Structure 1
Amino acid sequence: MNIARVEASAFNEQSQSGLRRFVSVPLLLIEDDTELAQQLCALLTHHGFEVTQASDGEQGAELALEKHFGLILLDVRLPSLDGLSVLQLLRQRRSTPVIILSAWGAEQDRITGLRHGADDYLAKPFNWTELMLRIEAVLRRSQPEAPGEQQLNYQQLQLNISSQQLWVGEQQVELTPVEARLLWQLMAQPQQLLSKRLLYPLVLERSLTDYDRSLDMHWSRLKRKLVQAGFPSERLITVHGKGYRLI
């Protein structure tokens, strides 16, 4: 399948300028399609990323758990260990941002990927510019800008947005970049119902579209982590079809 056959010269100037500040970010590509993997490795390396490549799930999981990467691009259909299993293993120990690249592009497949802990999901065949923009958005979410307030406290919650460290009382909770940004917005405006239309650009850096349940999946995982750490579930309010509230 010809998924993303492009040359290095195909970078448009806008995408290049947007990504220059992320050069030298260590990136793990877990992809068994040799041709696609070679194209992606060449283009990402050309753009300054330090790319490590794995061609099967077991090798990818081992690398993801042993080394620290700024981003992981993960296929789902992999030999030895499928991508969702790799993601499940990774989320037990790390909050490394993950973008799933999969030929399975149905809504339920995207929901499943997000529910397993992916930060974004891009269906094959994909447009190279869209991939680069999504990489840029995920990296920007995981590396907040230095200026401005970095820590919020609300009830027994203490969140540092720069390090993505959350404390629920005396217990530390590991958050993904998206979960940290979502909780930050809710803690910054407690008691307020925050609509999905407002939260999408603030948390996912894109507009809400019809049938997009990405934020619901991130909210569901965030709630589960908070409740497991002892935060009362009744203070985490979902108003179906509208948004979320922290009380």
Structure 2
Amino acid sequence: MSHKLLLVDDEERVLEFMEPFLLEEGYLTETAKTGSEALVKAKEMKPSLIILDWMLPGMSGLDVCRELRKMGPVGIIMVTARAEESDKIVGLEVGADDFITKPFSLRELAARIRSVLRRINGYEAATPIFHYRELSISEAECRVWKHGKEIALTPTEFKLLLTLSARPGIVYSRLQLLQAALADDILNDERTVDAHISRIRKKIEDDPAHPVFVQTVYGFGYRFGDRP
């Protein structure tokens, strides 16, 4: 299951900084600009994790955190410009799971999200998800998302995509794909792989004629992406 994140900040530019990146990471996101709006959306969407700004107009991030803790288990990462240890202690005491200090990088944010999710529900241990650009693949659940929206693949299509994505940049011949991804299927013609690849591209590529994910290496076979 793709995890739901609620992003709470009164600055539009901060939300615009975080949200596209997190969508590409495979998360489903909602945003809120005030504490009261955050509480309403948290009740409605039941997020796995909330990224919560400390300094909100009206109801502060600390007050929101206290109220969220009354609703049930949810991961909370406080975003703050405060670097003092005493402030962080206060935040942890009211229920925050982690802190990130402004300014921060998107890589650091992603790492802290994974860490909190792992601590609260064994997220990565149970359902590892591979991310490449805006595509996310869960081997455990046999599911694929693009921009956070699930894409329906047949079992054969999923096996092929999973095999290719396991080693980005590595070229597979049609025979190798038959053996690795379709070993249990009765397929005598290697060209059958081409038909499956064509259907996969129609589902996951913005422009199937110029694929970004499943690329043809003429004379050899196919590869996923363009970097080992």
Q: TM-score by structure 1 length?
A: 0.48
- Alignment-mate amino acid for residue 74 of structure 1: L
Name the Cα RMSD after superposition.
2.1
- Alignment-mate amino acid for residue 118 of structure 2: R
Distance 1:146-1:110 versus aligned 2 partners, 3 A rule: closer
Residues 1-247 of structure 1 aligned to structure 2 (within 5 Å): 24-144=2-122
Give yes or no for contact 1:105–1:122 (8 Å, CA) kept in 2.
Answer: no
Q: Distance in 2 between matches of 1:95 and 1:49?
A: 18
Q: Distance in 2 between matches of 1:52 and 1:29?
A: 6
Please report how far the alpha carbon of residue 28 of structure 1 lies from its aligned counterpart in structure 2 after TM superposition: 0.3
Task: Give unmatched runs, 5+ long, in structure 1.
Answer: 1-22, 149-247
- How many residues are aligned here? 126
Please report how far the alpha carbon of residue 93 of structure 1 lies from its aligned counterpart in structure 2 after TM superposition: 2.1
For residues 39-84 of structure 1, the C-alpha deviation after alignment (integer angstroms, 9 at most, x for no partner) is: 1011101111110000111101121233311110000111131110
Give yes or no for contact 1:30–1:72 (8 Å, CA) kept in 2.
Answer: yes
- Alignment-mate amino acid for residue 59 of structure 2: L
- Alignment-mate amino acid for residue 96 of structure 2: A
Distance 1:108-1:26 versus aligned 2 partners, 3 A rule: same
- Alignment-mate amino acid for residue 117 of structure 1: G
Give yes or no for contact 1:65–1:90 (8 Å, CA) kept in 2.
Answer: no
Distance 1:130-1:89 versus aligned 2 partners, 3 A rule: same
For residues 161-216 of structure 1, the C-alpha deviation after alignment (integer angstroms, 9 at most, x for no partner) is: xxxxxxxxxxxxxxxxxxxxxxxxxxxxxxxxxxxxxxxxxxxxxxxxxxxxxxxx
Instruction: State the 4+ residue runs in structure 1 displaced beyond 4 angstroms.
Output: 145-148
Q: TM-score by structure 2 length?
A: 0.52
Please report how far the alpha carbon of residue 146 of structure 1 lies from its aligned counterpart in structure 2 after TM superposition: 10
Please report how far the alpha carbon of residue 127 of structure 1 lies from its aligned counterpart in structure 2 after TM superposition: 2.5
Task: Give unmatched runs, 5+ long, in structure 2.
Answer: 127-228
Secondary structure of 1:27's match?
strand
Q: Distance in 1 between matches of 2:77 and 2:3?
A: 15
Please report how far the alpha carbon of residue 86 of structure 1 lies from its aligned counterpart in structure 2 after TM superposition: 0.5
Q: Distance in 2 between matches of 1:31 and 1:46?
A: 20
Give yes or no for contact 1:54–1:60 (8 Å, CA) kept in 2.
Answer: yes
Give yes or no for contact 2:2–2:28 (8 Å, CA) kept in 1.
Answer: yes
